[in-house]
Structure 1
């Protein structure tokens, strides 16, 4: 893709006066012939799988596409625990002689993508890539498929049908949980803006297994950074967090800015939100503090991207304030470590979560604790949110959540002390 992630499928909430209170002295599957491919706009239903780590602050999963409810797991998606095997197939076309090799293209994505998930999961999950070492010839010219961002479903179906059939002689699809189809980036009909996950309304039956979704990659060489991590996140039932303007113009990153790879593959702090890690099973109840009822609590927060301390233990990584039947306020620390090593600012980040908002409709919205300033205008995907976290001595009141957050301290080890006050009208 050229500059932004492609939605897998196809509001801001009520605006409230939010702003930091600063200290005075501080500044600033069926047969191929009946295959129907849905490009992420349709919900692919699946059985509910219990989530034993859920608690009273875990929002219930809804029918919204990629719902951020996490009381149950949608069993039609592979859950990234322990390990999953992925096959990467490289497709060439009769109207173009490849200028790169499969090995060169594979290096664009691995080990970078599996390293991203290893760090994000605190070592709890391994994405194991299996890379084809030769080109798989497609039967038709690249221009015949009319590849583009908002792709005609019939052309897309033909592409998937041809690709799987062409690779079936060399690939045993029953061995793999994830399928990546990488097109020759120099073929004339390949559009780098068309990379996406394609969900299948009726799965493909191949090698005795059902393929329910495929990651179609049309990136240039070298590709956009973290693009495969973003698309793989969709395979794990994570939503798009960016906002797609109706006319395709304007800012795409107003919901979360740099703060999660599902918002932008170019983000300076692309580690997954703590809420996502909780949903994926990488955070347990012991690492999530649920705040219920009015009052003030003083809590410690380790940076969400920090690796486990010696012995592999994690401290408190996420604080959740339940604000409604389908909404919550999440609070976490972000620091220059792990996947967030290039972050623009460090501090305590606050965001809203809604379980009924579908992918691309703002299921997460970062609270801008500094609404009158911005940061890193030369690097950030959305400078107004680049300085969203609170620093030591700063306080913000999220009026519609009835919650006040104050950062009291930060230790030399990077642990933040946070004071959270919830009003009488909150759950």
Structure 2
């Protein structure tokens, strides 16, 4: 969910509507029209590698007097509570014009210009390129400050570093794999003990969809006041607040985890605002026995917002994207980011993108998204704000639960708000029930990828995307026809 300074009036999913044709000859222009899937709505880390210098034994507590920064009221746009199968983390953004940028920019005269759909200024965390300023950098070395906090009425059980080890080194490894090594995520915990807040948890008024004002403002003020004497906040690119898991409800009941990103009005510490901060509560443990291996994934999801990525789930859970992006589903089995997001974050080079913007027919060879190098993404623009992305997904890298490898086709719309379906995956087998029964993996879209002999058709926009062949190296040849 998103909290915004303004709420976009017209929401809803653009919908990757088209026809799936099962033909032996992909050049056949006859096919039945159907509608693709649309949406409405392990191991603990080494202490030396995941933490900074220790501060000695004892719990951090007390309040130091600090001046508070200016306040700005933010609007609340809360999604309804989701069922377990649809549970994902919440997120919020307060858009900014700070001097940092979340991803690459493209020259106006770039050959990829027509495929660089523009951000919509009326939409928070728009899928357009480039990512607006104000978010954390998504390439190079990133220093992440981790603070483990507890409350007088909810003291942290065990050691604070045990809470840290739930997320690291797995989160760093996840980003390293997904970014092909381009994001060097450095977690640090200069305070190795629980940081005690001055008020009971309930007094902060934290709930699902809680606005920044006043509860989170007070919580961040207190975090800064308690920790600033011992933490140099200017040294970090983002902040993770790892809340003691016994504060607040179980994630099985409601997910409180949230990110406030691009927020220039956040309380300042050492002259730097805590403008990109993720809060993680409870444990996303579905009882399947996978938490030790997959419970960390809430943090890469929340940090995705810090880098400017929107929520892809809707009120139907992962109904429009399924398990094809961690910004859609972050429970249970591992999954990666979509190729569009990797380009947006600067993890794919322009040379790895194929822009099919001209009328006529063009063939493109795409390698598996999980592998390094080579063409990875074809884009078919429809308008200045939308188009179809095409990529190859396999059971490699971060994609653990892929049961139907093949060519994934999805529509991207920079004019659709976060949490309302800015991306919609086209289902090659509508109403099939999918090919997996793994917990917390959206079954219907699990077999969405297209195979040789199948064609996606958007009659309204005169676009046909056919899968011609699969090569021995795992690449696929696709043909794009535009009338």
| TM-score bracket relative to the smaller structure | 0.7 to 0.9
Shift of 1:36: 4.1
Shift of 1:270: 2.3
Aligned to 2:203: 144
> Which whole-Å CA distance do the structure 2 matches of 1:322 and 1:267 have between them?
33
Aligned to 1:214: 277
1:128 aligns with 2:199: no
Aligned to 1:367: 426
Q: Give TM-score scaled by structure 2 length.
A: 0.77
Aligned to 1:165: 225
> Which whole-Å CA distance do the structure 2 matches of 1:210 and 1:239 have between them?
22
Residues 319-373 of structure 1: CA distance to partner in whole angstroms, max 9, x if unpaired? 0111112111110000110011321221000011111112112211111121131
Aligned to 1:412: 472
Q: Aligned in 2, Cα 1:350/1:333: closer, same or farther, shift over 3 Å?
A: same
Q: Aligned in 2, Cα 1:400/1:374: closer, same or farther, shift over 3 Å?
A: farther
Shift of 1:392: 2.4
Aligned-residue Cα RMSD (Å) equals 2.5
1:239 aligns with 2:302: no
Shift of 1:396: 2.2
Q: Aligned in 2, Cα 1:268/1:217: closer, same or farther, shift over 3 Å?
A: closer
Aligned 1:30-109 pairs, distance under 5 A = 31-32=67-68, 34-36=70-72, 38=74, 40=92, 42-46=94-98, 51-52=105-106, 55-56=112-113, 57-63=115-121, 64-70=123-129, 72-109=130-167
1:13 aligns with 2:11: no
Shift of 1:198: 2.0
Shift of 1:220: 2.4
Aligned to 2:173: 115
> Which whole-Å CA distance do the structure 2 matches of 1:359 and 1:17 have between them?
23
Q: Give TM-score scaled by structure 1 length.
A: 0.86
Shift of 1:402: 2.0
> Which whole-Å CA distance do the structure 2 matches of 1:221 and 1:336 have between them?
23
Aligned to 1:311: none
Deviates more, 1:202-211 or 1:113-122: 202-211
Aligned to 2:84: none
Whether the 8 Å CA contact 1:300–1:418 is kept in 2: the answer is yes
* 1:96 match: secondary structure: coil
Aligned to 1:290: 355
> Which whole-Å CA distance do the structure 1 matches of 2:18 and 2:138 have between them?
38
* 1:203 match: secondary structure: coil
Aligned to 1:346: 405
> Which whole-Å CA distance do the structure 1 matches of 2:451 and 2:165 have between them?
38
1:205 aligns with 2:279: no
Whether the 8 Å CA contact 2:16–2:410 is kept in 1: the answer is no
1:196 aligns with 2:250: no
* 1:157 match: secondary structure: helix
> Which whole-Å CA distance do the structure 1 matches of 2:432 and 2:247 have between them?
44
Aligned to 1:261: 326
More strand by share: 1
Deviates more, 1:168-177 or 1:198-207: 198-207
Whether the 8 Å CA contact 1:320–1:329 is kept in 2: the answer is yes
Q: Aligned in 2, Cα 1:295/1:124: closer, same or farther, shift over 3 Å?
A: same
Residues 269-296 of structure 1: CA distance to partner in whole angstroms, max 9, x if unpaired? 6211111111111111110000121222
Shift of 1:14: 5.5
* 2:19 match: secondary structure: coil
Aligned to 1:274: 339
Runs of 5+ unmatched residues, structure 2: 26-65, 77-91, 286-290
* 1:340 match: secondary structure: coil
* 1:226 match: secondary structure: helix
1:318 aligns with 2:381: no
Q: Aligned in 2, Cα 1:333/1:110: closer, same or farther, shift over 3 Å?
A: same
> Which whole-Å CA distance do the structure 2 matches of 1:274 and 1:65 have between them?
20
Shift of 1:74: 1.6
> Which whole-Å CA distance do the structure 1 matches of 2:268 and 2:100 have between them?
23
1:300 aligns with 2:365: yes
Deviates more, 1:332-341 or 1:196-205: 196-205
Q: Aligned in 2, Cα 1:17/1:189: closer, same or farther, shift over 3 Å?
A: closer
> Which whole-Å CA distance do the structure 1 matches of 2:67 and 2:473 have between them?
57
Whether the 8 Å CA contact 1:355–1:363 is kept in 2: the answer is yes
